[in-house]
Structure 1
Amino acid sequence: MLLDRLQCPACGASLRAVGSEALRCNRCDAGVPVQDGIIDFVQGRLGTILSHEAYDAEHAIDPGRVEQHYREIRDAAGDRWPATLGTTLEVGCGTGLLSRALLGHGDVGALLLTDVSTGMLATCRTALQAGGLVGHVPLLFATHSGEEAAFREGGFDTCAGTSVLHHILDVPGFLQRVFRLLRPGGRAFFLEPNARYHRAVMQALADVVAQLMARDPAPSPGRQKLFNLLASTRRAMMHQGDLPYLAGLEDKHVFVAEEIERTGRAAGFAVAEALPTGLFRSGASMVSSLCAQLDLSEALRDQVVGMMPAHAARYLPLLADRDLSPSFVLWFEKSVGPRPARFSPPPQDRDGEAFTQRAPEPAGGLPPRFSLRLLAEAEGNGTAVALSGWCIANAEVSWVRVRIGPHARSAPLWIPRPDAHAAVNAAGAFPNWTSLCCGVDERLSFPDIPPDPDGLPLIVELVMADGPVIRLKASPRLVPGEALAVTA
C-alpha cells in the first residue's frame, strides 16, 4: 500500500522491491538501498549534528509525554481534526514522539515515517515495536531530507511533523512540495516555535541572569550554560531571513504567526493558520523545561524559575493572546477544487510612484559602547583580519562590518560576554538581552587585498538588526601586524 506512494528520485517512475536489500526503478533501473528494513533515499548525502543515542537519552519519551504532546496538537486543532488522517507522511519523525501518539490513538490508516537519519528511524521503529504499535496499519520507514523527489504527488491525505520545520532552510519551498504531495482536501500540520513568545521569554531570562550576576558575580558552570543558551537563541533570532547565515545553524527558524500564514497561502493552501497551544503568561514552564535540558542544578533551576514571573511581567503582557504560547500548531489545508489567486498592485504614493519601504531611523537612547580589536596579517596573496571584542547598544546589533577599500566582510555579534556586561551595564542602562551576549571573535578573509606596509584603508561599521548602519570612529589605516583598538 505504501510502496506505491514512492517513486524513483531520478526519473519519477514506480519502484519495485528487489529482495530485502534494495528497491529498483521500473523505468531507468536505478537502485535505492534498503538497510535493515529502512529505505535509504538520502544515502549519506546529508546528515544532522544530532546523535540519535544522545537525542533519545536527552528527550526520553514516556507515555505521559506522548499523551501530553498529542493533546497539545489535538486541542489546538479543535474541530479541524478529521475523523481519520488517512495515509500519512510524517516528516522528521525523530525517535517517535508524534508517531507513537498517532498510532496509539488509531488516527492513521497508513504511516510513512521519514527522517534524514537512519539511526533516528531505527530508534523510532524499536520504540514502536516495544509499545506494541507495529502491525496494526501499514508502516514504512525511509530516509528523506526534504529535497529528494521520492514521493508521488497527490499520494497522501496528511503530512505532519513536530519540531521539524524550523530545521529546514527553505520553508516556502518545502511547503510548496508538501502542497503537491497532498490529495485535494488533504491537510498538513507542524508543531513549531513561536518567535514572539521565545523572544519575550529570553529577554526576561536575560534579566534574571543579570540579577543573579549582580547578587553574586562569581562565574559558575550553570550560569555559563544560561549564557550559552541566551547567545545561541539571540544569534538565530537576529538573523531570521538571512538564509546564507542560517544554513550553518541546526535550529534555523522561529515563526511569526502572520508571516508563516502568508507563506502557507503563497504555497497554495486554502487554509493556513498558526494555532496557539495554550496561554502561558509567566514563561516559567518554558524556562523550567530549558533548565532541565541544560541539566542545571536543582537549586539554580528553582532560583531561575522562581524569578521568571516577575521579570516576564515586563514583556509578556505586550503580546496578543495568540502569541502567549511557546509553540504554534501550523495548520494547512488543501482545497478540494482550484483556489482562485488574487494579485494586488503595490500601494501608490500620492504622486503616482510605487511606494518603497524606507529604512527605519536608528534607535535613540544611549550611544553604543564598544571595544573592538583588529589585527591584519598576510594570508596567501591577500589579507586576513582577526576581529575580536564586544559591542553593547540599545538596539540589536547583528554584524560588525569591516571595509577595506571596496571590499567588506561581516562578523556576527552574539558570543556571551558577561565581563563586558558587568563593566558597562551593571546599572541596567542597556537591555540585558543585548549586553550579556555582545561578543565577536572572527577571522575575516580579504583574498583580493594584498598587505600594504603603509596600512590599508579601513572603515568599521555596526549593522543593526532592523537595517541602519552606524559608522564607528577608527584609524583610517589598518597596518599589518599592528593591533588596532576601536573603543567608545
Structure 2
Amino acid sequence: MSDAVVDPPPNPHATAEQVKAAYADPKLANVLYHDWEAGTYDEKWSISYDERCISYATDVFDAVAGEDGQPYPTAMELGSGTGFFLLNLMQGGVIKKGSVTDLSPGMVRVALRNAEKLGLDVDGRVADAERIPYPDNTFDLVVGHAVLHHIPDVPAALREVLRVLKPGGRFVFAGEPTKIGDFYARKLGQLTWWLTTNVTKFGPLSAWRRPQEELDESSRAAALEAVVDIHTFDPGDLERMARGAGATEVRAVTEEFAAALAGWPIRTFEAAVPAEKLTVRWRLFAYHLWLRLSALDKKILARVLPRQLFYNVMITGVKRP
C-alpha cells in the first residue's frame, strides 16, 4: 500500500443522474447510498459504542468463533460502515489494533472519527472487497457485519480475505440475511411502513407522521437499498462457498427468529414516525423486548427449528497454515 494513494472524498448528495446510473451498477449504488447514510447511520440502526453494543458484538463473535486466540493482535473490518463491529470488538478486548475498510468514503470517515473519539488504535482505507488494498499475510483476523450481501462477487471477496490473512488467521462475518429470513423481514417491513404512513395521515394521529419530504427521502433511500442488497444466503451454501475459496474449519451459525419477527416492524415503525415521538421509555421497551426474544431464540427455538428459518447467518473460517 503506497502512502501516495489518496482516498476519494465522500459524496453525500448524489445527483439524479448518478442515482439513475446506480440502478445498473451495484458498487456505485453502495457508494452513493452509504455516503448518503453515513452521517445518520448510527442513529438509524441504534448503534452505540457502550456496554449494550460491546456485549452484542462480543457475544456474536464468540457464538461463531469461540474465545480462543483472543485478543487478536491485528484485525481488519471489511465493509466497516461506521465501525460498529470492529470498534466494539476492540472495546470488548477481542482485538488490539484495527483497520476499517469500506467502499463508501463517507463511512470510512465516520468510522475513523468514531475510533478517534474512543481512543482506539485504528487506521482506514476506502476499499473494494474484491480487491483489498493490503499485502498478503497482513492480518490475524478479518471481520465484517452485514457486508457480504452487498458484494457482487462474494467468492472473490472471500479469496481476498484469505489472501490478506496470515496463515492460521481467522475470518468472522455476521449479520448476513438468510433467504427465508429476508423474505419475511421484508414483508413485515413493507406492511408496517404502509400501515404507519397511512394511519398517521388522519386526525389526532397526524402528529405521528413524519414530514412528507422526509418520507419521500426515506422512500428514495429504500428504493436504492433494493439495489445495494444483492444476496441472501442459505447457511449450507455459504459454508460451501467459504470452503471453495480455500478456507478450513468453516462453520455457519444462525440467530434471530422471534427477535426478527418483532424487530423489523419496530425498526420500520421508528423510521416512519418523527424522532421526537420515540421516547427513552419506548427505546427501553424495544431494547428489552429484543433481549427477551433473543434469549428465547438462543435457549429454545435454536434447538427445535431448522437453522434456515432464522434471520441472521454468521460464518467463520481459517486460512490454512
Same fold (TM over 0.5): yes
Question: Who is 1:198 aligned against?
Answer: 182
Higher RCO structure, 1 or 2 (CA under 8 Å, sep 6+): 2
Question: Which deviations, in whole Å up to 9, do the C-alpha atoms of 1:145-167 show, x marking residues without a partner?
Answer: 22445211122111111121111
Gap change, CA 1:194 and 1:32, over 3 Å in 2: same
Structure 1: where are the runs of 5+ without partners?
1-6, 8-14, 16-22, 24-30, 34-39, 237-248, 310-315, 337-488
User: What is the letter of the counterpart of residue 73 of structure 1?
Assistant: V
Report percent identity of matched pairs: 25
Gap change, CA 1:65 and 1:173, over 3 Å in 2: same
Report the Cα offset of residue 81 of structure 1: 4.8
8 A contact 1:42–1:143 mirrored in 2: no
User: What is the letter of the counterpart of residue 334 of structure 1?
Assistant: K
In the TM superposition, 1:320-399 aligns within 5 A as 320-336=305-321
Structure 2: where are the runs of 5+ without partners?
12-26, 294-300
How far apart in 2 are the matches of 1:205 and 1:176?
A: 34
> Normalising to structure 1: TM-score of the pair?
0.46
Largest Rg, 1 or 2: 1
8 A contact 1:286–1:326 mirrored in 2: no
Find 1:169's aligned residue among 149, 152, 156.
152
How far apart in 1 are the matches of 2:132 and 2:257?
A: 39
Q: Which has the higher helix share?
A: 2
1:58 partnered with 2:44: yes
Question: Who is 1:277 aligned against?
Answer: 255
Report the Cα offset of residue 120 of structure 1: 2.1
Report the Cα offset of residue 168 of structure 1: 0.9
In the TM superposition, 1:46-445 aligns within 5 A as 47-50=31-34, 51=36, 52-62=38-48, 63-77=50-64, 79=66, 81-134=68-121, 139-148=122-131, 150-191=133-174, 192-203=176-187, 249-280=227-258, 283-295=261-273, 320-336=305-321
Report the Cα offset of residue 263 of structure 1: 0.9
In the TM superposition, 1:12-31 aligns within 5 A as 15=2, 23=3, 31=4
How far apart in 1 are the matches of 2:78 and 2:251?
A: 19
Gap change, CA 1:88 and 1:150, over 3 Å in 2: same
How far apart in 2 are the matches of 1:114 and 1:106?
A: 20
User: What is the letter of the counterpart of residue 269 of structure 2?
Assistant: C
CA RMSD of aligned residues (A): 4.1
Gap change, CA 1:296 and 1:172, over 3 Å in 2: farther
Q: Secondary structure at the match of 2:76?
A: strand
Q: Secondary structure at the match of 1:94?
A: coil
Q: Secondary structure at the match of 1:255?
A: coil
Report the Cα offset of residue 183 of structure 1: 1.8
How far apart in 1 are the matches of 2:172 and 2:147?
A: 11
8 A contact 2:102–2:126 mirrored in 1: yes
8 A contact 2:64–2:252 mirrored in 1: no
Report the Cα offset of residue 78 of structure 1: 5.4
How far apart in 1 are the matches of 2:308 and 2:129?
A: 28
Question: Which deviations, in whole Å up to 9, do the C-alpha atoms of 1:335-360 show, x marking residues without a partner?
Answer: 32xxxxxxxxxxxxxxxxxxxxxxxx
User: What is the letter of the counterpart of residue 54 of structure 1?
Assistant: T
Question: Which deviations, in whole Å up to 9, do the C-alpha atoms of 1:160-198 show, x marking residues without a partner?
Answer: 111211111111111111122212211111121222122
Question: Which deviations, in whole Å up to 9, do the C-alpha atoms of 1:71-116 show, x marking residues without a partner?
Answer: 4413422536532223211112222211221221232232121122
8 A contact 2:64–2:251 mirrored in 1: no
How far apart in 2 are the matches of 1:81 and 1:123?
A: 31
Gap change, CA 1:205 and 1:120, over 3 Å in 2: closer
8 A contact 2:235–2:252 mirrored in 1: yes
Report the Cα offset of residue 327 of structure 1: 1.3
Q: Secondary structure at the match of 1:253?
A: coil
8 A contact 1:42–1:148 mirrored in 2: no
> Normalising to structure 2: TM-score of the pair?
0.67
8 A contact 2:79–2:101 mirrored in 1: yes
